[in-house]
């Protein structure tokens, strides 16, 4: 219990992030990373804790979306087939602390803009799926590599692009993002497994996983049963932009 009292503020922040992000199919990894920097948590373990929390949130989220019929595994297949090995490779790459946060800040800023505006093209990717396999594979592989390197699941980048391209209905895209985060977080974590040593703060990590698990369960329930996606998406875009601003202000 002492770990809870000592880190109550951090746990509450992780709970809130998980609740909001899971409502649009995300794990919250980008904001976990930013929050942990504010609490001076060792850079060497940031990405691993973020991915563990991602896995906790989207495991339930993916299951709930699947039960509700929003997850089309056949359609998602090409996205994850290439992204999984690319996330593993990205997780293996060494990266300096400053470069890591600059890359994170810039990519989050772009994701926030896309999520807020989400201009839609006239291309309909919901039909002729076999002709678009190559596109899905390239898209998934690119985002998978970036997510593995940064230490997030990649849904925050994938979802705005899929919405922009009319890839599917909003809740189906949220389900796709959740599954994408699940497999890429696991792959990226395997690539970073060298950080999961005996001196890894397992007690703190488990406490944070419980907090995001509860928040993610509530957020996913609201997403699949109550919420409309538009206002949640805009609220999430604001949060992502705020995180991006604070990261870039600190490291540029």
| Residue 148 Rama label (left phi>0; alpha psi -120 to 50; beta) | alpha
According to the model, what pLDDT value does residue 12 have? 94
pTM score of the predicted model: 0.81
3-state helix, strand, coil in the chain (%, to 5): 80, 0, 20
From 102-106, 129-133, 171-175, 220-224, the region with the lowest mean pLDDT: 129-133
Residue 98 pLDDT exceeds 80: yes
pLDDT, tens digit (0-9, with 9 covering 90-100), for 67-84: 888 888 888 888 888 898
What pLDDT is stored for residue 229 in this prediction? 61
Question: For the CA atoms of 70, 161, 146, 248, what is the dihedral angle to 10 degrees?
Answer: -120
Rounded (10°) angle between helices 43-67 and 170-191: 140
């Amino acid at each position: 219990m002492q770990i809870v009292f000592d880190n109550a503020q951090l746990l509450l922040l992780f709970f809130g992030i998980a609740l909001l992000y899971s409502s649009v199919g995300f794990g919250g990894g980008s904001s976990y990373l930013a929050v942990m920097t504010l609490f001076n948590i060792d850079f060497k373990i940031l990405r691993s804790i973020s991915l563990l929390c991602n896995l906790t949130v989207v495991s339930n989220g993916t299951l709930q979306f699947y039960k509700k019929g929003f997850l089309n595994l056949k359609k998602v297949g090409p996205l994850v087939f290439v992204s999984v090995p690319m996330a593993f490779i990205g997780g293996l790459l060494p990266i300096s602390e400053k470069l890591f946060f600059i890359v994170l800040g810039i990519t989050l800023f772009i994701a926030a803009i896309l999520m807020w505006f989400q201009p839609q093209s006239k291309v309909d990717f919901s039909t002729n799926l076999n002709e678009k396999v190559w596109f899905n594979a390239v898209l998934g592989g690119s985002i998978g590599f970036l997510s593995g390197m940064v230490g997030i699941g990649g849904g925050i980048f994938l979802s705005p692009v899929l919405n922009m391209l009319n890839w599917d209905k909003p809740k189906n895209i949220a389900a796709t993002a959740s599954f994408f985060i699940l497999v890429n977080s696991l792959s990226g974590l395997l690539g970073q497994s060298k950080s999961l040593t005996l001196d890894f703060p397992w007690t703190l990590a488990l406490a944070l996983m419980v907090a995001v698990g509860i928040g993610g369960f509530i957020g996913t329930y609201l997403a699949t049963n109550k919420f409309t996606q538009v206002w949640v998406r805009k609220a999430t875009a604001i949060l992502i932009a705020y995180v991006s601003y604070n990261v870039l202000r600190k490291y540029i």
